[in-house]
Structures are given as structure tokens and as C-alpha cells.
Structure 1
């Protein structure tokens, strides 16, 4: 790591952490927009919230702008299109169950090309505006994603015979690539489902909502436990849950989530947590604002830090694999804490030697690079679009999910497994 980066990163991190985590006021001159794709399942979930959101918006943000794109962005993490579509369908099913969205839970599938063309024609031709258009938009998405193609054809016939294309400033048909639905406000993007509560908090802060929003009613906040009853907690612990965590050592989100999961979830539910560090992949160019905000919400220390480069990652891995397996979790916790809270540059020999001594490691093990590559192969086989990747095993079942946006699934799955166990017991004669 360069001397400039080693010295400047801790100063920069302290500045980011100490400044207000939110800009006091975001500009409202561009209003509030939502970007959709008719063939995007997250857009289908998002439109189910739009009429309620529109009712709450102040006049300053009306009308809500709807941008409908017909171009999909490239799948993330080098996934092929089929694997990405299947992941999205599975993920949307989980979101729908958790947040009570309408969804075809039995056999969800992508809408046909012909149905997409008909839906676009209906939306282009309708003279409806405001709330009426949003209701129509939601109905059209239901028809697409629940294969109600007969209803869609009827609307299409009416729209194509009796209407002409309409042009309204709040309704735009675009060819701009959109990977999944998102809101845009104040030149910032908010994922349409995962960031909806963050967006509404922002709007409330700026007095841009006329009431109290109630969205995603089963959302699990950081440091909130679903299971508080001592007997139920003991039952979960008796199931010996296991959690594998694939992490990029140069990514601060890995530190924040590892610390949070270890301190708040693994110890509480007696989860056996195992770590699989991955080779350096350049994730040190992160969103500083997001990491700072996550640090404050999870109450995990995060400053000052020194972003690891490729050499530092290898040094971190060599320390990790030089201790016994039962010591690896605490060792990685100490390593990442040294980097992300103490500003240690582990490619710098004095920092590395001091940490090695602190960890009481007398001899470094060989083969760390091969271990990282093996972990990367295992992680790739799980076909997840983002890191960290989490694999939860409990009661004979395995659940795979990813990213900070799905950490809530740990508690949700535990709660659901316990509920299913009680139902099975009660159904016995």
C-alpha cells in the first residue's frame, strides 16, 4: 500500500464518520422518480406500493414520475441471464412472503414477449393520470406476472382501437438500461424494495410526506430480535444452526456484517459461524457514505481505517490460516478490527509483525493463496450476485442469500423454521 494511502485513509475515514451521515436537505427540483421494467420482478413488487406512496407525497413532489425502460442492464457478478432471472424470481418470492406482496408463489415465470408488447401499448395509450394511472400500472403488472393474458389481450384491444399514444411529462418510456427497479430523489438512487424505508425516512426528514408511511410491515431492523421467548430461543439453539460467510477482506461491509452477526446473532442464537475469505477483487472502492451509515445503524466501530490492497489481503489470509480452526472466527474479527478501526496496513511489515505478535502466532502457515482460490470456487458455485454470501443450515435445510440487504433473512428463516416445527407437532394425531 502506498505511503499516501496509508496516511490519508485514516484521516479521510474520520472525516466521513464525523460529518453528518445525511446531507441536511436534498434538492427537490427534479421531484421523485421511479424506474421500472415490465419484465423485472422487482418492479412488480415495487408498483404494489406506489398508490400508497403517492397518497402520502406532498404537492412539491407530485406528480410521481414513472420511467418505464425496455432495456435490461447486464446481470451482476458475471452471472448469465438465465441464472440472474432465476435468482430474481427466488429472491422476489422470499421478499413477497416476508412483506406480504402479491406474487405467484407456485410457479413464477418471466412474462412472454408478446405480453410485454401488449402491456407497453396499454400504458402508452391510456389517458389516465395520477392515482388512476398508478392503479392501472399495478393491474397491468399483475396481469403480466400472474399470466392473466386473457385480461391483458382485452385491455390491449381496447387501447389499440380507441386510443392513440399519449405524451405526459410524468410518464416516460425509455431505452436506458435498468437492472432492477429503483427510485431517484435528489440525484440519489434507492432500490425500489430494499431502500424503500430509507427513502421514506429521507422524505419525512424533509417534510415531504403528508402522513406516516406504513411499508414493509415485517421489516426487521438492525439489532432487533424476532425470537425473545426463552423457551423458543432454546429450541432454535438446540437445532445447532450453522452459518457460512464468504467475505472479501478488502470490503468494509464484510467487517461491519461479520462484527454484527458475531456479536448480535451468532452468540444470541448459538449459531456456528464459519468464515471463507476470498481473493482480492478490488472491492476497496466502496461507497463511503453507505458504509458509514451502516456502521452507525449496526453500532459497529468503523474508523479510522486503512483500505487493504492485494498484498494486505494475502497477509490477512496468512494470519487467518495460521491458527486452529476453532480460533479462526475470533482471529478474523481481530484482524478486520485492526484494519477497519485501528488503521493498520497489513502490507506494512511493522503493522503486520505487531498484529502477528498480538495474535500470538509464532509461525505462519503456507497455502493461504490456494485456500482463497478454493473458497472462491465454492462461492462461485452458489451463484449469488453480490457479497458477502451467506449459507444458513438448520433442521436439515440449506438457505443461500447474499449482501447486507438480506442479513434480516437469518432471523426470518429461524422464526419460520420454528413456526413450521410447531405446525408439524400440532398436526400429529
Structure 2
């Protein structure tokens, strides 16, 4: 690592961290817009919130601008189109269950014919404002709930009785978008995952006239979904296990690992396993996002020295040189040294200092590169679009998810497992009672 980066990164990161985490005011001249695709399942979830959002927007942001694109961006993380589609459908189903969105039990991509009919309906309707948003929601329901008969009827009426409309707040284009997102003040917000962040911003700038209640079962950082002692003991007895596949140069890996260790692992008796990956080139990260996450999770972050490829290799050498039963403590200390003390582990003095602290007498002679490649392969087999990748095992079931946006799933899964367990036990008791009644 260059001397400039080794010395300048910690200074720069400390300075950046002390800045206010939010820009005081974002410009409102461009208003608030949402970008949608009719064949994007996240757009389907997002439109279910739009009438309510429009209702509480201040006049300065009305009307909400709706931009409907027919272009699709390339799937992330080298996923195939089919892998990405299956992931999105499964993920949207999880989101719909957690936050009570309307959703089909067995979702399928809408047919090309249905998509064309839906676009014609939306292009031709003279409805505006909230009336248009309600129609938009209805059309998405028809597409994703397989209500093709209703869609054909509406299409026939729209194509026969109305000409194509041209309103400034309703735009159709072919921009390539991956998934639905809001745009405000020159910033993009994922339509579902960043909805709370967006509404907090709008509320801060006094651009909402009411309280935004959208993701009703959102689990905040440092808050637990399960507080009942009996239920908690039930989860702990199940010995849940969590695998984390992390990029060592990614600060999100440090923030989430530390949060899970400090807040969830002991509380739920989760056994953690960490699988470091080969260098992923994730050191050009969003500093403001990492800073906000640090403050929300209350996990220390800064001064740091962003690891280079050589530094991540040295971090992996230290990790694989400690006994297996000590590796969780070791990876926490290694990442802590990098992300809160500005250590550059490609620098011999820093490396040797941490080696002594970890009580490593002799460095592992194993092929570290091969370990990392094996971890890469295991991670790739999970077919996830982002890092870190997490796999939770409990009660004979395995659940795979990814990124900081899905950490809440750990507690949600625990809650669902308990619900199913109690349901099964109640059904068994009822069966016994019914049998005893018949016998008597």
C-alpha cells in the first residue's frame, strides 16, 4: 500500500466521520420521482405505497412523478437473467410477508402480451394525481396476480375510448433500470429497502404533512423482535448457526459482523462461522452509507485504512493461522484493527503487531489462496446478488440472504420458526383431544 494512502486514509476517514451524516437540505426543484418497470417485482411492491405517499406529500413535491421504463439493466454479481429473476421473486415474497404487501402465493413474471396491454392502459388514461396512482396499483395487481381477464377488458376500453395522453408527471422511456427506485435531490433510494431512509429525509425537510407509516414490521437496529423469555429460550435451545461470506476490504462486512456478534449472537445463542473471500475490489465504497450504518448500529468505524489486495491476503493469513475455535474472535480483532485503528496489514510493522496480539507463533503453511477460492465457490453457489452473504440454519431449515438490507431477516426467521412450531404443537394437541373424545 502506498505511504500516502496509509497515512491519509485514517485522517480523511476521521474528518469525514465527524461531518454531519446528512446534508442539511437537498434541493427540491426536480421534485420526487419513482422509476418503475412493469416486469419488475420490486416495482409491484413499491406502487402499493404510492397513493399513501402522495397523500402526505407537501404541495412543493406534488405531483409525484412516475417514470415507467421498458429497459432492463444487466443482473448484478454475474448472475444469469434467470437467477436474478428467481432471486427477485423469492426476495419480494419474503418482503411481502414481512411488511404485508399484497402478493400472489406463486408469483410468475407477467407475459409479454399482458405487459404491452398494461402499458397501453397507463399511456391512454386521462386520470392524474392519486386517481392515476390507484389505477397504477390496480394494473400492477392485474399483472402480478394473473388477472389477465380484467386486464384485457381494461385494455379494450383504454384503446377504444382514449388517445395517448402526455403529462409532465408521467413519462415512458427505455432507460435500463435494474429495480424500482425513488429519486430526490439528485440521490437514488431503493424503492423498498430505502423507503424509510427517504421518508426520514422528507420529514427532516418538512416535506411531509403526516406520519409516514409504510414498512409496518420493520425491525430497527438494536431492537429485538423476540423479548419473551420462554420464546427466547426456545430459540436458544435450537442452536442456530449463521455462516457469513465476507469481503475483507468491505467496511459493511466489519459493521455487520461486529453488530451480529455484539447484539445477536449471544442473545440468541447463534454459532457464527466466517468465510473470507478473495479480494472483490469493494474498497471504493459509499463512505456516507457506511458512516450512517455505523451510527445506527452503534459499531465503531474510523479511523480506517482501506485494505488493498495485498492487505486482504495478509488479513486472511492471520485468520487461518489461529486455531479454528479462536477464528471468530480473531476475525473481529483483525477487522477492528483495520476499520477502527487505521492499521495497514500489508505494512510489516502493523502485521507483526497484530500477529503478536493474536498469539500466533507460527504462520499457517496452508495455501491461503486456495482457502479463499474455495470460499468464493461456496459463496457463488448461494446465487446472491450482493455481499455479505449470510446463511442461517435452524430447526432443520436453511435460509440464504445477503447485504445490510436483510440482516433483519435473522430475527424475522426466528419469529416465523417459533410461530410454525407453536402452530404444529397446537394442532397436535387438538388431534389428541379429538382422538380422546372419539375414544370416550
- Give the structure 1 partner of residue 215 of structure 2: 216
Give the distance between the partners of 1:268 and 1:325, measured in 2 at CA. Answer: 22
- Give the structure 1 partner of residue 123 of structure 2: 124
TM norm structure 1: 0.99
Q: Equivalences for 1:380-391 in 2 at 5 Å?
A: 380-391=380-391
Please list every run of 5 or more consecutive structure 2 residues that lacks an aligned counterpart in the other structure.
433-440
- Give the structure 1 partner of residue 247 of structure 2: 248
> Is 1:340 the equivalent of 2:339?
yes
Q: Equivalences for 1:169-318 in 2 at 5 Å?
A: 169-318=168-317
Give the distance between the partners of 2:420 and 2:153, measured in 1 at CA. Answer: 42
- Give the structure 1 partner of residue 55 of structure 2: 55
Task: Give the superposition deviation at 1:281.
Answer: 1.2
TM norm structure 2: 0.97
- Give the structure 1 partner of residue 364 of structure 2: 365
Task: Give the superposition deviation at 1:97.
Answer: 0.2
> Is 1:76 the equivalent of 2:76?
yes
- Give the structure 2 partner of residue 325 of structure 1: 324
Give the distance between the partners of 1:189 and 1:242, measured in 2 at CA. Answer: 35
- Give the structure 2 partner of residue 6 of structure 1: 6
Give the distance between the partners of 1:266 and 1:345, measured in 2 at CA. Answer: 28
- Give the structure 2 partner of residue 104 of structure 1: 104
Give the distance between the partners of 2:163 and 2:11, measured in 1 at CA. Answer: 59
Encode CA deviations 1:246-273: one digit per residue, 9 max, x unaligned.
0000000000000000100011100000
Give the distance between the partners of 1:174 and 1:209, measured in 2 at CA. Answer: 29
Task: Give the superposition deviation at 1:15.
Answer: 1.3
Give the distance between the partners of 2:13 and 2:311, measured in 1 at CA. Answer: 18
Task: Give the superposition deviation at 1:135.
Answer: 0.3
Figure out how many residues of one structure are paired with residues of the other and give that number: 428
Encode CA deviations 1:310-368: one digit per residue, 9 max, x unaligned.
00000000000001111000000000000000000000000000110111101110221
SS in 1 for 2:390: strand
Encode CA deviations 1:382-417: one digit per residue, 9 max, x unaligned.
100000000000000000000000000000000110
- Give the structure 2 partner of residue 350 of structure 1: 349
- Give the structure 2 partner of residue 418 of structure 1: 418
Q: RMSD between aligned alpha carbons?
A: 0.5
Give the distance between the partners of 1:101 and 1:138, measured in 2 at CA. Answer: 12
Task: Give the superposition deviation at 1:165.
Answer: 0.7
- Give the structure 2 partner of residue 157 of structure 1: 156
Moved runs in structure 1, 4+ residues, more than 6 A? none
Task: Give the superposition deviation at 1:213.
Answer: 1.1
- Give the structure 2 partner of residue 408 of structure 1: 408
